[in-house]
Amino acid sequence: MRLFPKLFAVLGLSLLAVSVSAAPDNPKNGVDFRTLDKVQQTSSSKKVEVTEFFWYSCPHCNAFEPSLMEWVKRQGDNIVFKQVPVAFNESFVPQQRLYYALDALGLASQLNAKIFRAIHVERQPLDKDASIADFIAKQGVDKKKFVDMYNSFGVQAKVRTATQLQADYKIDGVPTVAVGGHYITSPSIAGAGLSGSQPEAALQDAALKVMDFLVAKTARELGEAAKPTMAAAPLKKK
């Protein structure tokens, strides 16, 4: 499930060794999720921010996408959901720009599933500028408008921000989900709480349960932080 930048390869889920020491029904820090040493700033102080770090060409990101999107729908207004495309080397950058160009045009949520299908089912690489532009044009998007956005300063700035976020959150594999700028989990991390070797769907389900736990935990923490501190009562003069 994890994509390690030094190897640029995804470990087979069937080889994942899991522990019986914990279960996602009672998530444990350091087992089912991890706490970042430094809390990262989020864009919302009132809602829980959930961020998925992903890569279009990752088969496990592709497998996770449908259940993750259903989970996001169930959360409704409880969360602010964001996606950050990663880059473990320069070859990932065109797909980062693809995502941010579509996001700027308001088309990311509409076309993400089609992009995953094109790459993982239809075996279209979509990893070069020209192939990306041609594919997007075939989806009925104005090619010039897309290419202009794809090459824009704004998209380049977002790519730089994504790279910094990837470093700040210490992302070494995808898909990885961050909650509240403080916690991270993933199907492979949450799967460590299951017994025996598990199918991918079971690891995804484990991750979603841990995410439920982390969203509730973060919501409580935000609520506590928002409570006003009672001022000490003034001393009465004798």
Tokens of 98: 């693809």
Which pLDDT does position 23 carry in this prediction?
A: 54
Helices 200-226 and 59-75: crossing angle in degrees, nearest 10, is 40
> How far is it, in rounded angstroms, from Cα 121 to Cα 115?
10
Contact predicate 181/196, CB 8 Å: no
Low-confidence spans in the chain with pLDDT less than 50? 3-22, 230, 232, 238
With the C-alpha atoms ordered 28, 58, 106, 152, is the resulting torsion angle positive or negative?
Answer: positive
Which pLDDT does position 236 carry in this prediction?
A: 58
Spell out the domain ranges in the chain.
Answer: 3-9+19-223
Q: Which fold has domain 3-9+19-223?
A: Glutaredoxin (3.40.30)
> How far is it, in rounded angstroms, from Cα 57 to Cα 54?
9
Which pLDDT does position 96 carry in this prediction?
A: 98
